Amino acid sequence: MKKFVIGNFKMNTTPLQFSSYLDEFLPRIKECKTNIIFCIPATHFHVAKSRFDATNIKFGAQNISCEESGAFTGEISSSMVKECGADYTLIGHSETRRRFKETLESLNQKIIRALAVNLKVILCIGETKYERSTRKTKLSLKRQLDSALKGLYENELKNIIIAYEPIWSIGTGKTPNVKEIETTVADIRAIISDSFTQRSADKINILYGGSINESNFAQFVKIKGINGLLVGGACLNPKSFANICR
Ligand code: PGA
């Protein structure tokens, strides 16, 4: 099965700088069969749309509003994102959860809004350092998953990718070991199986994210049950990111 590699640009580069980045990146991945997705600021969508037209690369937003339209200054709706050519949106990245004080209910609403306009969702979940040290990882992930996927039909899960990103690992250079990730991914599939079916648990794509770089990524792609990677800091270097994608 083809693996996913998602680059989360966060708030980095201007649209022009992103275009120069692509000058370096695109020639390096010509024969690459990986499912590559760029999660970029909405200001970069026009660049992505024109540059990815003749490629298999997809792009997505880093967040959307939980509202459909109206007096919500500063927000961007799922239909706006979709109409600009995006196929995906991140939902519930730990940075947006924290900075924008996203509630579990609002994240569920965002997922419903995304799916309603055929935007695929990359749902980020992960435990804090404290939850990990007190062995509450599975409980925490279950709470995040149950609330996020509440009310969804089983057939909608095909439009959801789960990105397992331990919060303590994002941007810190620290990662769980292979065994720990394998166990957690099995736990995530068990949670999905309990709420939906074993079939959907087996089929759902689960990615790992958190301090991935060019030297450590290979061990993570090989982990049983992992369907790809979500890369933050290391995706900003076009050469490194192209190597990871390849
Ligand atoms: P990182 O970020 O790769 O810089 O740790 C991952 C993420 O935030 O998705």
pLDDT digits (tens, 9 = 90+) for 86-131: 999 999 999 999 999 999 999 999 999 999 999 999 999 999 999 9
Closest ligand 1 atom to Cα of 234: 3
> Is there an atom of ligand 1 within 6 Å of 171 CB?
yes
Lookup result for tokens 């990111």: 241
**Domain regions of the chain by residue span:** 4-10+17-25+33-245
Lookup result for tokens 């509630």: 103
Q: Which residues are known to be catalytic? A: 93, 165
In the predicted model, residues of the chain with pLDDT beneath 50 are none
pLDDT of residue 233: 98
Tokens linked to 144: 């995040």
CATH topology of domain 4-10+17-25+33-245: TIM Barrel (3.20.20)
pLDDT of residue 153: 97
**Residue 160, amino acid:** I
> Is there an atom of ligand 1 within 6 Å of 15 CB?
no
Residue 52: other Cβ atoms inside 10 A = 19
pLDDT of residue 1: 77
> Is there an atom of ligand 1 within 6 Å of 211 CB?
yes
96 vs 85: CA distance, rounded Å = 22
Distances from the Cα of 159 to the Cα of 122, 154, 194, angstroms: 9, 10, 19
Q: Cα–Cα–Cα angle for 225, 58, 188, nearest 5°? A: 25
Residue 207: other Cβ atoms inside 10 A = 25
If one residue of 11, 89, 122, 165 were mutated to test the ligand 1 pocket, choosing by the most ligand atoms within 8 A of its CB, it would be 165
Main-chain phi, psi angles of 127, to 5 degrees: -100, 155
Q: What is the pTM of this model?
A: 0.97
User: Angle, to 10 degrees, between the axis of helix 137-148 and the axis of helix 178-195?
Assistant: 40
